[in-house]
Amino acid sequence: MQKQAIGIFDSGYGGLTVLKEIVKELPENDFLYLGDNARSPYGPRSFETIYDYTLQAVKYLFAQGCHLVVLACNTASAKALRNIQQLDLPKLAPHKRVLGIIRPTTEIIGNFTQSKHVGILGTKGTVKSKSYLTEIERLWPQVKAFQQACPMWVPLVENGELDNLGASYFIEKDLKALLAQSAKIDTILLACTHYPLLLPLIKWNVPKRVKVVSQGGIVAKSLKAYLLRHPEIAGHCSRSGKLKFQTTGDAADFDEKGTFFFGKEVRSQKVQLSGGM
Ligand code: DGL
């Protein structure tokens, strides 16, 4: 089997904040990023739709030769990963792997909190799935997790509204709603790919004693460790430091916004997913 890039999938631009950190940890690896911009955001969509779209993306990345695919999207990880790993992968490609970003994040979140009260911010889909609550309860039984959906934050970031009165209003409102659930919350996890771009406003709206944790760096370190533990998978991943970007949406739009999310110039190519638009 030929060596290929690691596939990184997100509903749109957000996964680029994760890829940015992954590239710092694994600069020699090749990555193929796929954003399903034609159908994003996934946050408000149903379980069935997100599963269907994510499976199409995984099949597409496998067809490109990727041996390992990372769902760099919390909503897709929350609503599609388990089914794909347990039901589809054994039939589709038993030797290939699909990883998500909830597990690596929940594995270490307990290390950040002293009070053992953690707040989770995510899309409606992520919050509704209760994936973070379930994983944290399983891995850190002594930690209590509280969550809050922030449905306006993704559109704010996508529209470049990062530091104005409108953004302040929604950020303050949702953070108040989270912190009202427990006065002991000392750690807030940004469980959505877009939220790190709102970090200055988020920090401004929480007490100084509260740590705000972004997951990109955590996921990147965990992926590096995974490749070291799994040479049989790492051996199928090509290493010439190349990045390729693909979108189901408009390539020019992707390049403009993607550059902002990735922090470096992005040049994409438009592709179609089967069953997609
Ligand atoms: N990438 C998604 C996430 O991390 C946010 C954008 C969307 O709703 O599609 O949950």
131 Cβ closer than 6 Å to some ligand 1 atom: no
- d(CA 228, ligand 1 centre) in Å: 28
Give the pLDDT mean for 1-24: 96
- d(CA 44, ligand 1 centre) in Å: 9
Per-residue confidence band for 163, with pLDDT thresholds at 50, 70 and 90? confident
Give the tens place of pLDDT for each residue, 255-265. Answer: 999 999 999 99
193 Cβ closer than 6 Å to some ligand 1 atom: yes
- d(CA 104, ligand 1 centre) in Å: 17
Q: Given this model, what pLDDT does residue 274 score?
A: 80
| Residue 277 in this model has a pLDDT that exceeds 50 | no
Which pTM was predicted?
A: 0.97
Q: Which two tokens stand for residue 176?
A: 């108040």
Pocket test for ligand 1, best of 154, 189, 214 (most atoms within 8 A of CB): 154
> In what side-by-side order are the strands of the sheet with 243-247?
97-99, 68-71, 6-10, 31-35, 243-247, 268-270
Give the tens place of pLDDT for each residue, 17-68. Answer: 999 999 999 999 999 999 999 999 999 999 999 999 999 999 999 999 999 9
All domains of the chain in start order, with CATH: 6-101+217-270 (3.40.50.1860), 103-214 (3.40.50.1860)
Pocket test for ligand 1, best of 8, 10, 20, 21 (most atoms within 8 A of CB): 10
Give the pLDDT mean for 108-113: 98
Give the pLDDT mean for 114-138: 97
Atom of ligand 1 nearest to the CA of 40: 9
Give the tens place of pLDDT for each residue, 186-238. Answer: 999 999 999 999 999 999 999 999 999 999 999 999 999 999 999 999 999 99
Per-residue confidence band for 81, with pLDDT thresholds at 50, 70 and 90? very high
The string over 101-138, giving b where at least 16 C-beta atoms fall within 10 Å of a residue's C-beta and e elsewhere, is bbebbbeebbebbeeebbbbbbbbbbbbbebbbebbee
Give the pLDDT mean for 77-102: 97
**Active-site residue list:** 73, 192
CA–CA separation, 136 vs 7, rounded Å? 27
